[in-house]
Amino acid sequence: MALPPHILPTLAPAYPAQLRLPQTGYYNALPTQQPYGPYSVDQTSAFAVQALRSGAPVATTPSHNQRPSTLPAWQPGLAHSGAVHAGTSQPSSASAAHAGPASSMGPPDRPRKRKAATLRADDWEPYKKRILDLHIEQKRPLPEVKQMIEEEYKDFKAELRQYRSRISQWGKDKNVKLQEMQAIVRKRQKRKLVETDKGQLVFKVRGSKVEQQKIERWMKRHDVADSFLHAV
């Protein structure tokens, strides 16, 4: 039996006191109490009171205010632009900061060797006679010739490969080419095996004497027999 509306008790508005939390930066330490409407009675409470007076069974539902808020705690000075996961706030830039920039795993670049200055024929002319005297006449090795020239002429600098190239262009290269050595061996064997009544030959290439030891080493390296004519 439903009761007339005037028999319902008058419920005074109840505003729960707001708890004043310490300023620690965490406002969700205690369960949040949510104030109700102007009469401080929610729909579930009003229905329960009416049902009790009518004698009907009451089905209650758990209050939503029993669990603490799962919203992220606000911290002063912390930017809240990051994504929220499982009730915690973490700036999206944090994971990027831990990852760091991608680094290349290849070997470091080797410094390039500085290119030697270009020297023309006229640049070599003042030093030509001295270079040939040291290298051809005195038979000094080319690295030693280079060092001596740099000590005597402070304003002249050239790489070792430039010395070799320039001496070859002057026609004073001491290195005997393959065709030249083949011709020397052919004449030497002919004089030794056929022209036995004549004296031993002396060979020169670009003004430099080719020693007999050098000829014999070349013959041994190329499997040329000393007792046969060398035919090419």
Over residues 217-229, the mean pLDDT reads 85
Beta-bridge partners for 209: 204
The mean predicted confidence, pLDDT, of the chain is 71
| pLDDT value of residue 231 | 63
The span from the CA of 178 to the CA of 218, in Å, is 10
Say yes or no to pLDDT of 132 above 80. yes
Of residues 64 and 219, the one with the higher pLDDT is 219
| pLDDT value of residue 109 | 72
Convert the pLDDT of each residue in 151-207 to its tens digit. Answer: 999 999 999 999 999 998 998 887 888 999 999 999 999 988 898 888 889 998 877
Q: Read off the pLDDT band of 89 (50, 70, 90).
A: very low
Residue boundaries of the structural domains of the chain? 121-169, 178-221
Over residues 108-120, the mean pLDDT reads 75
Over residues 45-68, the mean pLDDT reads 51
| pLDDT value of residue 171 | 86
Percent share of the chain, pLDDT over 90? 28
| pLDDT value of residue 167 | 92
Say yes or no to pLDDT of 35 above 60. no
The span from the CA of 212 to the CA of 90, in Å, is 87
Over residues 100-121, the mean pLDDT reads 70
**Burial zone of 146 (CB within 10 Å; 0-12 exposed, 13-18 middle, 19+ buried):** buried
Over residues 97-109, the mean pLDDT reads 59
The span from the CA of 39 to the CA of 110, in Å, is 82
Percent share of the chain, pLDDT over 70? 51
The span from the CA of 230 to the CA of 30, in Å, is 109
Say yes or no to pLDDT of 17 above 90. no
| pLDDT value of residue 29 | 45
Q: Single out the residue of 72, 65, 68 nearest to residue 36, CA to CA.
A: 65
Token pair, residue 115, equals 């290119």
How far apart, in Å, are the Cα atoms of 132 and each of 44, 124, 162?
A: 116, 11, 14
| pLDDT value of residue 27 | 46
Q: Read off the pLDDT band of 208 (50, 70, 90).
A: confident
Query: Regarding beta strands 88-89 and 203-205, do their DSSP bridges make them parallel or antiparallel, or are they unpaired?
Result: unpaired
